[in-house]
Amino acid sequence: MSVDYENPFVYNRPLTSDELIDREREVEELVSFARGGHNSRLSAPRRYGKTTLLYKVLEEADKQGMATAYVDLYGVVSVPGINRRIGEAYQGNIETRSQQRLGELARAQPEVSVGVPGVKLKFDLSPESDPMLLMHRLLDFPVVLHQKTGKRSLIVFDEFQDILRVDETTLDEKIDGLMRSHIQHQLREASYIFAGSHPSLMNELFGSPTRAFYEQACVMRLQPLDREYLGGYISDRFARTGRDVGECLGLLLELVAGHPQRAMFVANHLWRLTEPGESADQSVWEQAVAHVYGDLGELFEQTWWSFTELEQEILIATALGKLPVPQVSELSEIEVEGACRALIGVGVLIRGADKRLEFVDPLFANWVRSGRSSPAVDCKTSSAVLSCLQK
């Protein structure tokens, strides 16, 4: 009797911490930074496994006796919104690890209370509360916690770049400045990981001398997954569910180029088209690829037409890996570099170790490389653009 297995390749949400692939070094390093009192900045493209990695880091820090909290700042647009995310994260992460709650330290009637054994704080998150005063109190909670329990806290601020969405014209000080005014004094009490998936905004926060967090955190950038580890993960899950990835494994690894989410996405389609007890072959692979691009085609088209003609030319040149053709450029290097920065800023391209432009999404790169029909550029790139790109 055949067994009806569920598809083991999840691609539309973060994986659980026990499904983390090939990030042991990063976990160890981030936990070590935190234990030593250092703050970290984790940069990764979207869908690169950042959240799963952070879950694992917090899990390991918890095992080592730290109080931990994960604050998701995605989409925040106001100070009250930031306060609510922090307060609810403290409640959801710190309080659930406690076995008892002692010592009320605030008299206000709160919506949220947070605590660990030996300490409890209550915070009023209602719209009527003073948002700036509340933020000061929330940011000071790791200090109070340490005073009462001796515990160091590890606080993760994920999608940290979204604090730039807050309208600071109505405030007496910038949000990052206010946060740093507390965090910089918590050397014994807390460590922080600032994570983000928008390169240009994270660079603005941590790379601009005018911002409060300029060079204030150890930098870690996630790299593509190791081919061997990823191949082992995919092969193992095929085998556990009564299938064999067979000769398609090499094709899959070549196509996804170590991209975590895209690897799960392609593997999901390949698994669905492989019959139980059978091995995936070339025919199944071709069907899987057709399904993959059938699902992504509309999204890629919308993305493509959101770019300027110059940006499209740069994407084509990057996808094809063309060499420069010597010619006097009718475009300035400033124009081309500005377009490159724009593509990097929105997370479509990155600069590799050799400073060459690379696609973040290997499936999008393959779609461009395959010669999609475009009346604007028709998969051609001017020698002027190529010359500027290679200088």
Domain end call among 272, 303, 334: 303
Quickly state the pLDDT bin for 34 (edges 50, 70, 90). Answer: very high
Provide the domain limits for residue 252: 231-303
Those residues with Cβ within 8 angstroms of residue 182's Cβ, 6 or more apart along the chain or in another chain: 136, 139, 140
Q: What is residue 383's predicted lDDT score, i.e. its pLDDT?
A: 52
Mean pLDDT of 214-235: 93
Residue 2 located in a structural domain: no
Residue that the structure tokens 């069907």 belong to: 287
Model confidence at 109, in pLDDT bands (50, 70, 90)?
very low
Task: Kindly report the number of other CB atoms within 10 A of residue 129's CB atom.
Answer: 17
Quick one: 198 and 64 in the same domain? yes
Does residue 86 sit in the same domain as residue 45?
A: yes
pLDDT at 143: 93
**278 lies in some domain:** yes
Q: What is the mean pLDDT of the chain?
A: 84
Mean pLDDT over residues 133-141, rounded? 90
What pLDDT, on a 0 to 100 scale, did the predictor assign at position 351?
84
The pLDDT value given to residue 330? 59
pLDDT tens-digit profile of 264-284?
A: 999 999 999 999 999 999 999
Check whether residue 177 and residue 34 sit in a common domain: yes
Q: How far apart are CA 288 and CA 297, in angstroms?
A: 14
d(CA 195, CA 156): 7
**pLDDT-based confidence at residue 3 (cuts at 50, 70, 90):** low
In this structure, are 120 and 260 located in the same domain? Answer: no
Cα–Cα distances in angstroms (integers) from residue 249 to residues 204, 233, 236, in the given order: 40, 11, 11
pLDDT of residue 327: 38
Quote the CA–CA distance of 39 and 71 in Å, as a whole number. 15
Distance CA 181, CA 322 (A): 48
Q: Is residue 14 part of a domain?
A: no
From the CB of residue 104, how many other CB atoms can be counted at a distance below 10 Å? 13
Chain-centroid distance, C-alpha 387: 33
What is the model's pLDDT at position 387?
A: 52
The answer to whether residues 103 and 205 belong to one domain is yes
- Residues of the chain with pLDDT > 70, as a percent, come to 82
Greater confidence, 81 or 328?
81
Residues 175 and 47 in one domain: yes
Q: Which residue has the tokens 């250092």?
A: 38
Q: Kindly tell me if the per-residue pLDDT of 114 is higher than 90.
A: no
Residues 141 and 276 in one domain: no
C-alpha–C-alpha distance, residues 309 and 307, integer Å: 7
Token pair of 308 as six digits? 């300027």
What is the CATH classification number for the domain harbouring 358? 1.10.10
Q: Record the pTM.
A: 0.82
Q: Are residues 178 and 255 in the same domain?
A: no
pLDDT band, very low/low/confident/very high, at 356 (cuts 50, 70, 90): confident
Domain boundary among 303, 323, 357: 303
Residues 160, 8 contacting (CB under 8 angstroms): no
pLDDT at position 323 is 43
Cα 327 to Cα 323: distance, rounded to the nearest angstrom: 12
Helices 333-345/309-320 angle, 10° precision: 80
Using a 10 angstrom Cβ sphere, with 0-12 exposed, 13-18 middle and 19 or more buried, the burial of residue 209 is exposed
Residue 240 has pLDDT above 70, yes or no: yes
Q: Last residue of some domain: 281, 303, 325?
A: 303
Total number of domains in the chain: 3
Asked if the structure places residue 5 within a domain, the reply is no
Together in a domain, 50 and 153: yes
Helix residue ranges per DSSP H, the chain: 24-35, 50-63, 79-89, 131-149, 175-183, 199-207, 227-240, 248-256, 260-273, 282-304, 309-320, 333-345, 362-369, 383-389
C-alpha 374/C-alpha 340 separation (Å) is 20
Q: Is residue 7 part of a domain?
A: no
Predicted confidence band at 87 (pLDDT cuts at 50, 70, 90)? Answer: confident
3-state DSSP assignment of residue 267: helix
Distance in angstroms (rounded) separating the CA atoms of residues 151 and 48: 31
Structure confidence by residue, pLDDT tens digits, 143-189: 989 998 899 999 999 999 999 989 877 777 889 999 999 999 999 99
Domain identity same for 111 and 189? yes
